[in-house]
Amino acid sequence: MNLEILIGFIMATLALAISPGPDNIFVLTLSLAHGSKKGLAVVAGLMTGCLIHTTLVAFGVSTLIREKAELFWIVKILGVVYLLYLSFLVYKSDGQIQISSSEQEKKGEWSLFKKGFFMNVLNPKVTIFFLAFFPGFLFSAQLPTVIQFYVLGLLFIVVSSLVFGSIALGAGSVSKFLSQTPKVGVFLRWMQIVVFLGIAIYLLIA
């Protein structure tokens, strides 16, 4: 078992969770408008959805590894291309973080949990991202690949839950910091670009 690979995975996941995206911005604005409890309900739904994507990737990619290594290499190359594409999209964005408290989410916690779950599960981009992200961080020559993918999936969920949960609980402070530090969006944008490019390079050489 290669602990350095796992630590690298955790650090990459942390950087991605901190970087502004539709999910954590939604959690932030919902928590600002309706309280941390509702934000945490969405976080729970989003993270539960990640288990579905982990399962799809774990069994799908593990089958490729068992049956045809060449196909797995093709998947890795497509993953690199997708990560480069994401880097380009982030580069083209203006780096501004828009926060507007919406009054439309006056639902109960269970409804918000389901909303977060389906937001995640029905987004094919999440599966594609997991497919691009996870294969380069297989960390053991002894453990079955399915188990390794689930370990990575659970680490991804734990790290993302801590970051998203902190955003929900500290929504007011986070919002104040973002509004008083407009350049933070630019910094996070470049951090996200570096992470995407770093993972893409790692996939090529791993």
List, for residues 168-183, the tens digit of each pLDDT value: 999 878 777 766 776 7
The answer to whether 109 and 37 are in contact (CB under 8 A) is: yes
Roughly how many angstroms between the first and final C-alpha of the chain, as a whole number? 15
pLDDT of residue 101: 54
pLDDT of residue 45: 96
Distances (CA, A) of 120 to 23, 63, 64: 9, 24, 24
Per residue in 122-132, pLDDT (tens digit) is 887 888 888 88
Q: Is residue 100 part of a domain?
A: no
pLDDT of residue 132: 84
How many domains does one find in the chain? 1
Q: Is residue 12 part of a domain?
A: yes
Q: Is residue 102 part of a domain?
A: no
pLDDT of residue 146: 92
pLDDT of residue 169: 92
The count of other CB atoms within 10 Å of the CB of residue 101 is 14
Per residue in 183-193, pLDDT (tens digit) is 777 777 788 78
Q: Is residue 103 part of a domain?
A: no
User: Is residue 205 very low, low, confident or very high in pLDDT (cuts 50, 70, 90)?
Assistant: confident
pLDDT of residue 73: 78
Q: Is residue 189 part of a domain?
A: yes
Q: Is residue 104 part of a domain?
A: no
List Cβ neighbours of 51 (8 Å cut-off, separation of 6 or more): 153, 157
Q: d(Cα 193, Cα 171) in Å, to the nearest integer?
A: 25
Report the mean per-residue pLDDT for the chain.
84
Q: Is residue 61 part of a domain?
A: yes
The whole domain housing 189 covers: 3-95+111-205
Pure H helices in the chain:
3-18, 22-34, 36-67, 69-92, 109-121, 124-133, 145-169, 171-180, 184-205
Mean pLDDT, residues 34-55 = 93
Q: Is residue 197 part of a domain?
A: yes
